[in-house]
């Protein structure tokens, strides 16, 4: 029995209207034909497209009542493939999931209030306490403040996942979808119902050999900064210091243009857990190092060289953690928010890691990742959604027994007979006609508590959860 269905589609048609429509059609083909009313559509598209035409193409295929959320992304992650210059669509359907969406405008002017507005609307539309929240926001340089606004309303116990939408390092053509196209906004998607989120992210540590932490004789301390701009390190011009410590051999102009080099030779802050929270530079302009999130004067920085091996390890660590986190149910979908900086360092490594993953991955690339309550850079963050089978079993079981009272006696008898039995044997044990036995087991089959192969019936793992209520 499929409790959650998720279809993925992609199109790189030059016509944005056709690209949106084709990607949506491709995603719908992966859903069961009975999934006529999806809960939500996730849409990530190349910043080179006209976003309004993309959205129109999606709406040509979808029911107009189905919310569409997402935004711009230089790369699209669809069916475990890293793609670009196209449209990626993910369509979610489950009768056990509830969705509420909201949008807050003006994140560059009132970031905290925008975050509050988006989550308030999402929770109001959901109509219940969310199990977790997804966030897509514009690159506004105040992402941490937007997140604080969301937490002000949501509290600290409900997990948050998402990231900042991307373009091709112009930092100007980022946009969001929330049933319409928005700029300078934040979109919140509140998930409720019988589901459980499992989240993980890849990290860096001072003792991590695969990321090659650079050892220096002197500490690297920020001595002059302004939010995300580093002007001086150890009282030396930051660019001069960086060029020396990273051992870059070219000119300053060549360094500024060599994005792959400065993204793979990056500074980070060491936290109390031994993790290095990478900051940048994500760009170099006018001799100034620009970070992906805020830094504070007086903090000590560690330089990390990001290698192909480290990128592979980030994916593997996140994947392993998700698989081994309880409950260990197979997830029909895993959202991946991959830092855009990683494919700039090694596109091949990201591609190989996605394609070799045992998870069913869909997602986008971001300028910054939101995981739990933190805003990070240079990470691979993942969120798997699994059905809360214990809750579903109890609710469906109560509904089934109320409507078909004899089914409780039937499944208890099947269990008493070893959990696997022939129809004829079950009929004899129940003292009823064979035809009546078929009528008795039909609701159990319908709700997925048993499975049938020819004349043999067997209690499923889902059915075993139901039995725990009565045994």
How far are the Cα atoms of 193, 217, 221, 314 from residue 255, in angstroms, in the given order? 50, 24, 22, 26
Tokens 């890691």 identify what position? 353
Our CA angle for 291, 294, 299, nearest 5°, is 95
Tokens 């910043």 identify what position? 47
Q: Which residues contact 286 (CB under 8 A, 6 or more apart)?
A: none
pTM over 0.75: yes
Decide the pairing of beta strands 160-164 and 132-137: parallel
Query: 3-state class of 388 per DSSP?
Result: coil
Tokens 């109001």 identify what position? 124
Residue 1 pLDDT: 59
Residue 161 pLDDT: 97
Contact yes or no for 178/55 (Cβ under 8 A): no
Residue 328 pLDDT: 83
Which stretches does DSSP call E strand in 194-264?
195-201, 220-226, 229-233, 236-237
Phi, psi of 6 (to 5 degrees): -145, 120
Residue 35 pLDDT: 58
Contact yes or no for 168/365 (Cβ under 8 A): no
Contact yes or no for 297/224 (Cβ under 8 A): yes
Calpha distance 201→104 (Å, rounded): 26
The tens-digit pLDDT sequence of the chain (471 residues) is 578 999 999 999 999 999 999 999 999 999 876 556 899 999 999 999 999 999 999 999 997 789 999 999 999 999 999 999 999 999 999 999 999 999 999 999 999 999 999 999 999 999 999 999 999 999 999 999 999 999 999 999 999 999 999 999 999 999 999 999 999 999 999 999 999 999 999 888 876 666 666 656 678 999 999 999 999 999 999 999 999 999 999 898 999 999 999 999 999 998 878 889 999 999 999 889 999 999 999 999 999 999 999 999 999 999 999 999 888 888 889 999 999 999 999 999 999 999 999 999 999 999 999 998 899 999 999 999 999 988 999 999 999 999 999 999 999 999 999 999 999 999 999 999 989 999 999 999 988 999 998 889 999 989 999 998 888
Tokens 């600290």 identify what position? 156
Calpha distance 447→304 (Å, rounded): 52
Give the DSSP letter string of 347-388. HHHHHHHHHT-SS-EEEEEESSEEEETEEESS-EEEEEEEE-
With b for 16 or more beta-carbon neighbours within 10 A and e for fewer, the 356-366 pattern comes to: ebebebbbbbb
What number of residues does the chain have? 471
List the one residue out of 47, 144, 72, 84 whose CA is nearest residue 370: 144
Contact yes or no for 142/111 (Cβ under 8 A): yes
Specify the DSSP class assigned to residue 215.
P
Phi, psi of 133 (to 5 degrees): -130, 140
Give the DSSP letter string of 112-166. HHHHHHHHHHHHHHHTS--SEEEEEE---S-HHHHHHHHHHHH-SSS-EEEEE--
Q: Which residues contact 356 (CB under 8 A, 6 or more apart)?
A: none
Phi, psi of 291 (to 5 degrees): -95, 165
231 conformational bin, left if phi > 0, alpha if psi -120 to 50, beta if neither: alpha
Calpha distance 116→110 (Å, rounded): 10
Contact yes or no for 239/286 (Cβ under 8 A): no
With b for 16 or more beta-carbon neighbours within 10 A and e for fewer, the 290-310 pattern comes to: bbbbbbeeeeebbbbebbbeb
Contact yes or no for 4/89 (Cβ under 8 A): no
Residue 329 pLDDT: 81
Contact yes or no for 181/59 (Cβ under 8 A): no
Query: 3-state class of 100 per DSSP?
Result: strand
Calpha distance 116→2 (Å, rounded): 35
Calpha distance 373→337 (Å, rounded): 15
Calpha distance 40→6 (Å, rounded): 10
């Amino acid at each position: 029995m499929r409790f959650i269905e998720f279809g993925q589609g992609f199109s790189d048609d030059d016509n944005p209207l056709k690209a949106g429509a084709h990607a949506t059609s491709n995603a719908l083909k992966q859903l069961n034909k009975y999934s006529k009313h999806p809960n939500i559509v996730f849409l990530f598209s190349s910043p080179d497209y006209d976003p309004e035409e993309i959205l129109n193409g999606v709406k040509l295929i979808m029911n107009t009542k189905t919310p569409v959320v997402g935004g711009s992304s230089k790369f699209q992650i669809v069916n475990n493939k890293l793609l670009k210059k196209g449209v990626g669509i993910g369509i979610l359907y489950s009768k056990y999931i509830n969705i509420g969406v909201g949008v807050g405008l003006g994140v560059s002017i009132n970031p905290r209030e925008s975050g509050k507005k988006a989550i308030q609307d999402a929770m109001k539309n959901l109509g219940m306490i969310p199990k977790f929240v997804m966030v897509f926001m514009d690159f506004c340089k105040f992402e941490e403040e937007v997140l604080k606004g969301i937490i002000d309303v949501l509290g600290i116990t409900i997990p948050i996942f998402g990231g900042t939408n991307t373009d091709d390092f112009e930092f100007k053509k980022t946009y969001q979808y929330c049933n319409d196209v928005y700029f300078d906004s934040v979109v919140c998607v509140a998930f409720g119902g019988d589901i459980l989120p499992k989240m993980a992210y890849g990290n860096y540590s001072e003792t991590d050999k695969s990321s090659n932490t650079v050892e220096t004789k002197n500490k690297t301390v920020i001595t002059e900064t302004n939010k995300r701009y580093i002007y001086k390190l150890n009282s030396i011009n930051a660019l001069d210091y960086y060029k020396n410590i990273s051992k870059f051999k070219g000119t300053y102009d060549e360094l500024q243009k060599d994005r792959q080099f400065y993204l793979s030779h990056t500074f980070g802050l060491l936290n109390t857990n031994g993790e290095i929270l990478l900051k940048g530079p994500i760009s170099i302009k006018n001799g100034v190092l620009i970070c992906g999130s805020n830094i504070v004067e007086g903090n000590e920085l560690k330089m990390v060289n990001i290698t192909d091996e480290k990128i592979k390890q980030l994916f593997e660590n996140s994947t392993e953690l998700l698989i081994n986190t309880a409950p260990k149910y197979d997830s029909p979908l895993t959202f991946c928010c991959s830092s855009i900086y990683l494919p700039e360092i090694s596109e091949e490594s990201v591609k190989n890691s996605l394609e070799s993953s045992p998870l069913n991955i869909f997602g986008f690339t971001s300028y910054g990742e939101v995981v739990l309550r933190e805003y990070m850079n240079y990470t691979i963050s993942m969120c798997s959604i699994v059905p809360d089978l214990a809750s579903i079993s109890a609710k469906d079981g109560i509904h089934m027994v109320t409507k078909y009272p004899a089914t409780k006696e039937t499944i208890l008898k099947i269990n008493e007979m070893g959990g696997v039995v022939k129809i004829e044997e079950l009929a004899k044990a129940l003292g009823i006609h064979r035809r009546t036995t078929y009528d008795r087991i039909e609701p159990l089959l319908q709700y997925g508590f048993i499975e049938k192969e020819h004349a043999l019936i067997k209690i499923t793992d889902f059915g075993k959860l139901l039995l725990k209520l009565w045994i």
